[in-house]
Structure 1
């Protein structure tokens, strides 16, 4: 007698399939902004209790930027955390990998933000640290309008979404840096060609001239090269 195959349509299998689809979709994205936007939207669809989501970036530990948000509420909440310099998102970035609050209005960890929670329409939050890179920190934030909207299942699913988002974002940032480097190399090459033709110098001499003007004007080399290819002048 053969053993029946396990049911592949249960909630665990459905979640696993959805997460696998998310991972594949994110890996296809090559622009960091698109990765963040898709991650935030997918988190709302996958994490139990989530109504809105955002991905926040903090640069130099001061400036909070809502890099992706599924609604104006999420965007305004990020702005409020930046205004007050406190909140579950910032705590997740600075000190804890995961932060959950069942009721912002009653949570004493962020009193100023909690006092505005009703006005913002946010009572529950679940935040995950995405990355810490040099002076930039990132977090995935999930929001809900009612208290105690998130539970252990929300944390488990949210952590998986955040992991996929962090991996895909790291890959997209590397691709973006590579693409920028290639574009910069091309525009510097074009600028060198202009100088070689104009002054009858070789490639090394043209590059030395670009470098000297870049230092004199305190302008990045690729910016100077782009100016030369656009205007035909170094404005020196």
Structure 2
């Protein structure tokens, strides 16, 4: 390895460490995703556009963050045509790296490639990895030039994707923990309101909240949050009243 290569790797490690530090301070997956995609576009190739997507049983494929509108439109094209490198990487087991060197020559996903060309995207790199806690996370790099990502860029993308998977997983754990705490607080407050208003025990107050949650087919915290905020009796709640997830 040459001194230039070693200096390049040292610089990459430093930028990855900087990104990990920035993401560590993010309280939500959205904020973490924004940090990751902007850093990825800079680290892998200054001309690149980047997107971060997750794939889970609950949400399917979901774009978490993107640097440019073309990234979102391209993901929507994959969903519309049900083909593309992102879907292929998501369905693979374990780690997967897929490259598209030139959309004009791409034959695996012809409708997707045509849509990408219309958006001005000529090459892509998709790095997909298992996500801690279930599902997968995919880092997608796009360029308006054909053959924009050489072997070194693909290597940087793969390494960055690995760091992204770990840091994004930590952000997901933090967000889930915060949501669980908020849920418990809302249920506790709503239960207390019902106990005081109707002179009932905690078990019956909780049962009233649960019954409405089941009848409306929504999560318990949504019913509890509305009761805690408005003081409304659960029996009078309609689905349109509840906060969005």
Q: TM-score normalized by structure 1?
A: 0.86
Aligned partners of 1:124 and 1:143 also within 8 Å = yes
Residues 86 and 62 (structure 1), Cα distance of their counterparts in 2 relative to 1, 3 Å cut: farther
Residues 202 and 29 (structure 1), Cα distance of their counterparts in 2 relative to 1, 3 Å cut: same
Q: Distance between the aligned counterparts of 1:218 and 1:160, measured in 2?
A: 42
1:66 aligns to what SS in structure 2?
Answer: strand
Q: Distance between the aligned counterparts of 1:76 and 1:145, measured in 2?
A: 14
Q: How does 1:133-148 map to 2 (within 5 A)?
A: 137-148=136-147
Q: Distance between the aligned counterparts of 1:215 and 1:77, measured in 2?
A: 38
**Which segments of 5 or more consecutive residues in structure 1 lack a partner in the other structure?**
1-5
1:235 aligns to what SS in structure 2?
Answer: helix
Aligned partners of 1:50 and 1:142 also within 8 Å = no
Give the stretch that moved more between structures: 168-177 or 89-98.
89-98
Q: Which residue of 1 aligns with 2:181?
A: 182
Tell me how far 1:204 sits from its aligned partner: 2.9
Residues 137 and 85 (structure 1), Cα distance of their counterparts in 2 relative to 1, 3 Å cut: farther
Q: Which residue of 2 aligns with 1:233?
A: 233
Q: Which residue of 1 aligns with 2:152?
A: 153
Q: Distance between the aligned counterparts of 1:217 and 1:119, measured in 2?
A: 43
Q: How does 1:61-80 map to 2 (within 5 A)?
A: 64-80=61-77
Aligned partners of 2:126 and 2:141 also within 8 Å = yes
Give the stretch that moved more between structures: 130-139 or 114-123.
130-139
Give the stretch that moved more between structures: 88-97 or 187-196.
88-97
Tell me how far 1:145 sits from its aligned partner: 1.2
Q: Distance between the aligned counterparts of 2:232 and 2:181, measured in 1?
A: 21
Aligned partners of 2:208 and 2:234 also within 8 Å = no
Q: Distance between the aligned counterparts of 2:128 and 2:170, measured in 1?
A: 17
Q: Distance between the aligned counterparts of 1:212 and 1:117, measured in 2?
A: 48
**Which segments of 5 or more consecutive residues in structure 2 lack a partner in the other structure?**
237-245
Give the stretch that moved more between structures: 218-227 or 79-88.
218-227
Q: Which residue of 1 aligns with 2:83?
A: 86
Aligned partners of 1:26 and 1:165 also within 8 Å = no
Is 2:112 aligned against 1:113?
yes
Q: Which residue of 2 aligns with 1:126?
A: 125
Is 2:10 aligned against 1:39?
no
Residues 91 and 215 (structure 1), Cα distance of their counterparts in 2 relative to 1, 3 Å cut: closer
Tell me how far 1:50 sits from its aligned partner: 4.7
2:130 aligns to what SS in structure 1?
Answer: strand
Q: TM-score normalized by structure 2?
A: 0.83
Residues 191 and 44 (structure 1), Cα distance of their counterparts in 2 relative to 1, 3 Å cut: same
Aligned partners of 1:102 and 1:124 also within 8 Å = yes
Q: Which residue of 1 aligns with 2:205?
A: 206
Tell me how far 1:59 sits from its aligned partner: 5.5
Q: How does 1:16-31 map to 2 (within 5 A)?
A: 16-31=13-28
1:56 aligns to what SS in structure 2?
Answer: strand
Instruction: Provide the alpha-carbon RMSD of the alignment.
Output: 2.7
Q: Which has the higher contact order (CA 8 A, sep 6+)?
A: 1
